[in-house]
Amino acid sequence: MINETELAQRLGLSADRLKEFLSVSEYRKFKKNSVLFEGNAVCDWLGYIINGAVRTYCVNDLGEEISFLLQVNGDFFGDYESYITHQKSNFIIKTTLDTEILVFDKERLDELIDSDIFWIKFSRTMSDICFLEAKRRIEDLLFYSPEERYQNLLRKSPEIIRKIPQKYISSYLGITAQSLSRIRKRSN
């Protein structure tokens, strides 16, 4: 169930603005390992994790699952590129725990954004957050060692380490599960 006071604080919204925001959303609960988005389609919605965890991944030509994003409470998720370009997505989005989310349909969210300059600013802030997260992800993969990537993840979101299985974390970091295990031992 939604704790509106906590959600308003997380999003930086007044109670009235939160009600507007919730009016264009749909609350949903999913069991662990539920597929939220199958890929090979346009992702015309965004989600917000109230409680739980999701993984965004793709399957390569060898049939291996490559984790692109790991997200937990307070994170927005979805294939943002597909959302803004209306192009098909290759990503799959799946829960890694029992998860509660808010889902925002693009059409309804666009109507809210068009209704008030406040929501234009809010959506711009969300876009900026998505951009910065993508930039940090690229920098992590290009400029940091696996151990540094793990430490960065631990600093940014220790909740991910607690909620998401090691095999998905290792894929996200671009290393094997055995390498992650060694890094974790050295870090403790």
Q: Where exactly are the structural domains of the chain?
A: 4-187
| Overall CATH class of domain 4-187 | mainly beta
User: pLDDT higher for 14 or 1?
Assistant: 14
| 12 pLDDT more than 90 | no
Give the per-residue pLDDT at 161: 86
121-142 burial, b for 16+ CB within 10 Å, e for fewer? ebeeebeeebeebeeeeeebee
* pLDDT of 21: 93
pLDDT confidence of residue 9: 86
Give the model confidence (pLDDT) of 126-182 as tens digits: 888 888 888 988 999 999 999 999 999 988 888 888 888 999 999 999 999 999 999
pTM exceeding 0.75: yes
Confidence band of 2 (pLDDT split at 50, 70, 90): confident
Is the pLDDT assigned to residue 42 strictly greater than 90?
Answer: yes
State yes or no: pLDDT of 17 exceeds 90.
Answer: yes
pLDDT at 1 over 80: no
Predicted confidence (pLDDT) per residue in 46-86, tens digit: 999 999 999 999 999 999 999 999 999 888 899 999 999 99
pLDDT for the residue 38? 94
Residue 56 confidence (pLDDT): 95
